Amino acid sequence: MTKSQLSKTEKPDEQKGRRERRRRVRGRANGEGSIFPYRNGYAAYVWVNTPDGKRTRKWAYGRTREETHKKWLKLHEAAKKGPVTTKTPTLAAYLERWLNEVVKPELAPATAANYEMFVRLYIVPTLGGKRLDKLTVADVRAWLNKLRETCQCCAQGKDARREEKRQRCCAVGRCCEQYASERTCRDAWTTLRAALGNAVREEILPRNVASLLRVSKPRKRRVKPWSVDEARKFLVSARERRDPLYAAYVLILTLGLRRGEVLGLRWADVDLETEEIRIGWQLQRINGQLLHRETKTEASDAALPLVDICTTALRERRRDQETARENATEWTESGLVFTTRTGRPIEPRNFNRSFAAACDRAGVRRVPVHVTRKTCASLLVALDVHPRVVMQILRHSQIAVTMDIYSEVSTAAPRKALRKLGKQLGE
């Protein structure tokens, strides 16, 4: 009797039993038709849906049937949960795509430049060759430990890029031990965590191994802001010297403007009649380009009232700029409030240098430019201004940021409370 004649006479249960026996003879369990001998081991595949909507095979390989069977089961579980990627890039290739397709179109240029810098200098040189799906928590921990112990002058070839006669440390065999700070290590880890988090959202990875690692947060570097006397002494000196940036100094100390905001301020956003100013633009030097762009958030794009000292300083600034325009042999019209003698935008770093020189001439303590914003906040706190008002003046997007400033600079209330406590204990 032939097989076809036998199948016609058999009952369905008998046919199923015969197929089961035939599979066992061949060494396959039920449902394992996709596992078979391959080269020096075994191979298996599962039909999956990819993140781009295609349906294709995902392969797994092993030296033994048991090993391949375990991988095959994992693939089945992954296919049931959702899309599965079939081609996994290296971390370097994925980070390049992440920077170009996610970071640059979606984030601010300064943030994108920072991410690109950390990827290029700190992540790719050590982890770039790792396959994305093979990256483990142990790999990330080993990378961070190595980053803390590696001289960045040696790793980045800083001294080697100098002229031979100017080489003084790593390139001539005297390592300068320029190790990355804890802040740099944490920022590099934060960049990797953000990139892998995007891979999880795109369903390329099942989990973010960087987020499973605990990295200590370094303490912030505290810089004491100016007192009222120091701020007044600085402004008086700048006004008496007729410093061309005097009005800018008034705005950063009185209204708490950021450096980029004061340099990007346009005359179109200043109304001296109604004594109001709108902060909507900023000037930044990013990757060699000077960008005049809108402020980061809607909270930053706000209208603020001008007090008398600001109005007077801006009127003087307008007169000085008109005089400079008339006397200049070549003038570039930019529409900005603060410009060079030829009307061009002021370089942010040049503003820093001018501010430092003004500190020295006034005989006050040198502080970074951004500390003037904290000075403005501390003076408002000292005047017992409500936090919501301070938040509006400084244009914070979250009240938590304002309260953090309050907790840092408001020492009068704790001092008063401790004096009362001291008196009670003394009695």
Q: Collect contacts of 224-231 with beta carbons under 8 A, ≥24 apart.
A: 225/367, 225/371, 225/372, 225/374, 225/375, 225/377, 225/378, 225/409, 226/364, 226/365, 226/367, 226/371, 226/372, 226/375, 228/379, 228/382, 230/364, 230/365, 231/375, 231/379
| Phi, psi (rounded to 5 degrees) for 357 | -65, -35
List pLDDT tens digits, range 61-100: 888 888 888 888 888 888 888 777 777 789 999 999 999 9
Q: Collect contacts of 291-295 with beta carbons under 8 A, ≥24 apart.
A: 291/109, 292/264, 292/336, 292/345, 293/109, 293/264, 295/261
Model confidence at 372: pLDDT above 60: yes
Q: Given pLDDT bands bounded at 50, 70 and 90, which one contains residue 24?
A: very low
Q: Say which amino acid occupies 173.
A: G
User: Which carries the bigger pLDDT value, residue 99 or residue 408?
Assistant: 99
**Separation between Cα atoms, residue 321 and residue 244, nearest integer Å:** 9
Structure pTM? 0.72
Strands (E), 12-80: 35-38, 41-49, 55-62
Rounded to the nearest 5 degrees, what angle is found at the Cα of 29, between the Cα atoms of 23 and 31? 100
Q: Which residues contact 101 (CB under 8 A, 6 or more apart)?
A: none
For the record, the structure tokens of 9 come out as 């006479």
**Separation between Cα atoms, residue 256 and residue 248, nearest integer Å:** 11
For the record, the structure tokens of 376 come out as 């403005």
Of the CA atoms within 13 Å of residue 268, those in its CB half-sphere come to 6
CATH number for the domain formed by residue range(s) 228-373: 1.10.443.10
Of 33-42, 160-169, 302-311, 415-424, the least confident = 415-424
CA distances from 380 to 251, 254, 261 (A): 14, 10, 20
Q: Which residues contact 388 (CB under 8 A, 6 or more apart)?
A: 399
Mean pLDDT, rounded, of the chain: 83
Model confidence at 150: pLDDT above 90: yes
Of 250-259, 306-315, 346-355, 381-390, the least confident = 381-390
pLDDT given for residue 422 in this prediction: 60
User: Which carries the bigger pLDDT value, residue 17 or residue 6?
Assistant: 17
List pLDDT tens digits, range 336-356: 999 999 999 999 999 999 999
**Separation between Cα atoms, residue 313 and residue 316, nearest integer Å:** 5
Which residues of the chain form CATH 1.10.443.10?
228-373
The pLDDT of 147-172, averaged and rounded, is 90
List pLDDT tens digits, range 101-135: 999 999 888 899 999 999 999 999 999 999 998 99
Model confidence at 27: pLDDT above 60: no
CB 281 within 8 A of CB 292: yes
**Separation between Cα atoms, residue 312 and residue 308, nearest integer Å:** 6
Strands 55-62, 270-271: parallel, antiparallel or unpaired by DSSP?
unpaired
CB 141 within 8 A of CB 124: no
Q: What percent of the chain has pLDDT over 70?
A: 83
**Separation between Cα atoms, residue 192 and residue 208, nearest integer Å:** 10
